[in-house]
Structure 1
């Protein structure tokens, strides 16, 4: 899957400050588009028919979510400059600027490392090569090209492409009537209504927030095949965003396409680095491969996947100690593997979740504390936490995940001849909720 490159430029034939005409469609087709393709990227140009001369939200979303952008600053087009300002405020790097060599650039952008071109494209191959190489360098080096991030020390980019799904609906504003409709469908657990909702929306003009909420609504109903199909139908800037790709990996695993899930999630890590969210989902895939190998009696593969599970979860926890989810999973499987690091990591996980709960508490926090109590064989504490776990269930896959982990602990302790009856009681109480 190629990374996307958004093109900010005028459409059609326009005149510059001196009255000379520039054919921007020709500039795009002959110069910009092939250069982007040669860099291994896929160009996305705002459709003039959809936008109708008015900058609107779907265009903004594509502008912000596309990993790369090329902006043509010729003729001082107001829309292009406005879009460039937004891009520079959101993305510290990977924005390339061009201009027609007879254009007079304003002082505020004159210091940008822009690529000049002549309107006749007389040196076309040289121009294409220069733009291609500039994009390739942007892919490799990730150096800041935004004046905002270059000039202001300590400023951090928005994590717009990697908002956690647990808080997505609270952090992203979108059409309130559609939001309420989706909420009603989720509460009724009616999959037919959800697919009808999908069929009535226009993917090209609808706000991305609606599409992502639809994706998460399918997840809430455990309609994982629908999640996979929905990602295929999404506009590419959205479908290739980190959050959506993570959820695709999650869904692929749940429908049994584990190797495809690994490919998607490892691609995110290779491109963007380790994270608690991506590694947490990938760790679950390896966990499932571990349990599958055990069921098949393949102890060699089970041992290998057990190690991969621990390493993947631990990498995720180390990437962001504030997120206890990969940490608790790492600790759980360290117990199974008799990994001595368990006693070192366990208190760190407990500290992390308690710190997070000072500002916000959700299902995973209570489930983590419960699982920690089980790992510590603290029966009284585990039973005290059980109510909060059950009381904070939001989606059915959440308690199923907890039960899955607790069952793995039960099986491990049975082999060691330890009492597991009290853990089984906890599991049975949670199972009553789904």
Structure 2
């Protein structure tokens, strides 16, 4: 969806400062609205002027949520000034001022983001001078674009400039008045975001993010998508989504933490341009603004621990060598201890940071014999036990019980270790990653010869639990994603033939040749809609080669069959049903999975939406895996959302395109 702009201005015809009438409806329709739309915004204006003190609740909602507010200050209108004041109080950025003709003195005093336009030209009898109007529109379009691009730069609101410590309100907590329809739509959208996140459907998340009505919603969705991608270990693509969200909400703490995790994991993976030092600098910057954020301190502790581990855990090193090097790098170890301990002191209920600090303190004593942490080890053990024992969040009970198991490993016996870890596993909902995380910590302790009997007891408990679960790497992952879009076969009587039915064989052979050249097979996944013509020819060719095929469709299946399958004849229905019977999964329909399209979109939006849904689903498997095949004449198509649209979107993101030119193919 486009960014949302709200216009505050007078309505109808009013006398101007010089007494001459001004038709503000013409100002809106001929100047303001076209200029903002040219800047890529969706424009809203209240449909009637309000009396002072009678501004409707939906207007307050707009002032809170709109990406941009434009105020026309040509007249000294109290309602417009009131609206501007409310926006300045609610948001630090996203305001543009305009005025025509002679303007109030306050307009001249306001120093930022303001534009004068030629009012007299707009009001000329016989219509405005086109060249002057176009120049004014271009200037306003440019200013709006600059304002939107500098969203996270200097604050525009004088309120937030004069009160630099003032924090913008949480938009979600300010549900203005009784704007029920607005928030009902949001709640439905948020519910679908949550379902997509829980199901790991990152393509759904990204599609829904694009449909968010305002920037605040989009930021939330992009950050959620980044989190899901990070959990799926698509760190590069996750970082891209997080950065999109942070451009809108640069102080979003969850997004900043996730950004640090991705930077850290990319550094550990040895990706060029990434280093642990870069990730460390990122966390330090976050802590400058949030010095008591225990989660960020814990992430910094994890990074310091990774740096320490990297210094001694080397392939082929003997246990003795690893232990000697681990003790030698005690300064790095103490950095990790300090970060975890600093976080725990800021929030003693955060047992995760506490148990990590405590474990590393014990390791420090084990490796160096230095008792400097002896007192902290005693007091922290009791505090961590109390915090973990009092966890009430059902979703965190595994980690609480695992922390108690870690504590037994430090101070208990093999029997108490086994009992505590079994309690933790009983609260694990088949989460292989969570089990593996604790198992990896135990392996580190084993490598360093720390309390071997206790550690071995813990490892055996986790190994037995993990035997019952398939590791993520054992689940099928596609080698490549083959994304397809192509012309449907012509309807009978089409004025200008594009894909005549009698040339179907040529198209099928060309698609088969491309797939054979690519060497597709059972390790690949194909994505398309399943329409008559190109989609079904592609599906049939893939299925013959053992490729898994999934269909994502713009409408619910009965409507899709009517619109896109049998339009060229009933014979396509049987081919559709035959192919459907051997799909990897039933077709997914956008209205069911993503909800109804946003309000006010055009008729062709469903097709564009489905194209992006297909593309985002492909990209979520890894941008480097995506290959696009299209059967296309290079033209603009019959409407929105055709192959031309998909081609442009793929070119913009991957560039890996195999185009079958139907002009050349059918001219043979």
TM-score by length of 2: 0.45
Per the alignment, residue 45 of structure 1 pairs with 43
Relative to structure 1, is the Cα distance of residues 35 and 375 closer, same or farther in structure 2, using a 3 angstrom cutoff? farther
Contact 1:287 1:309 in 2 (8 A): yes
Displacement of 1:209: 7.1
Contact 1:5 1:43 in 2 (8 A): yes
1:228 and 1:327 mapped to 2: Cα distance? 30
The reply on whether 1:130 has 2:130 as its aligned counterpart is no
Per the alignment, residue 259 of structure 1 pairs with 236
Per the alignment, residue 198 of structure 2 pairs with 222
Select which of 143, 147, 150 maps to 2:158. Answer: 147
Displacement of 1:174: 7.7
The reply on whether 1:410 has 2:442 as its aligned counterpart is yes
Per the alignment, residue 350 of structure 1 pairs with 341
The reply on whether 1:112 has 2:122 as its aligned counterpart is no
**Counting helix residues as a fraction of each chain, which structure ranks higher?**
1
Deviations, residues 266-319 of structure 1 (Å, cap 9, x unaligned): 33456665764323112334566678x6xxxxxx55996766655554543344
Query: Secondary structure, in 3 states, of the residue corresponding to 1:158?
Result: coil
Superposed CA RMSD in Å reads 4.8
1:29 and 1:423 mapped to 2: Cα distance? 75
Unaligned runs of 5+ residues in structure 1 are 162-167, 177-200, 294-299
Unaligned runs of 5+ residues in structure 2 are 123-127, 312-330, 363-376, 400-430, 466-668
Select which of 213, 231, 234 maps to 2:209. Answer: 231
Per the alignment, residue 387 of structure 2 pairs with 388
Contact 2:118 2:136 in 1 (8 A): no
Deviations, residues 159-202 of structure 1 (Å, cap 9, x unaligned): 536xxxxxx7xx556899xxxxxxxxxxxxxxxxxxxxxxxx95
2:157 and 2:249 mapped to 1: Cα distance? 19
Query: Secondary structure, in 3 states, of the residue corresponding to 1:92?
Result: coil
Relative to structure 1, is the Cα distance of residues 422 and 91 closer, same or farther in structure 2, using a 3 angstrom cutoff? same
Select which of 261, 282, 288 maps to 2:259. Answer: 282
Relative to structure 1, is the Cα distance of residues 286 and 144 closer, same or farther in structure 2, using a 3 angstrom cutoff? closer
Per the alignment, residue 81 of structure 1 pairs with 81
2:50 and 2:277 mapped to 1: Cα distance? 55
Query: Secondary structure, in 3 states, of the residue corresponding to 1:206?
Result: helix
Contact 1:71 1:84 in 2 (8 A): yes
Contact 1:232 1:239 in 2 (8 A): no
Relative to structure 1, is the Cα distance of residues 145 and 287 closer, same or farther in structure 2, using a 3 angstrom cutoff? closer
Displacement of 1:97: 0.7
CA radius of gyration, larger in: 2
Counting matched residue pairs gives 374
Relative to structure 1, is the Cα distance of residues 372 and 57 closer, same or farther in structure 2, using a 3 angstrom cutoff? farther
Relative to structure 1, is the Cα distance of residues 369 and 387 closer, same or farther in structure 2, using a 3 angstrom cutoff? same
Displacement of 1:101: 1.6
2:81 and 2:155 mapped to 1: Cα distance? 18
Query: Secondary structure, in 3 states, of the residue corresponding to 2:198?
Result: coil
Deviations, residues 34-80 of structure 1 (Å, cap 9, x unaligned): 54466xx5323236579999855555344334444321224455553
TM-score by length of 1: 0.65
Contact 1:369 1:385 in 2 (8 A): yes
1:416 and 1:409 mapped to 2: Cα distance? 11
1:148 and 1:34 mapped to 2: Cα distance? 30
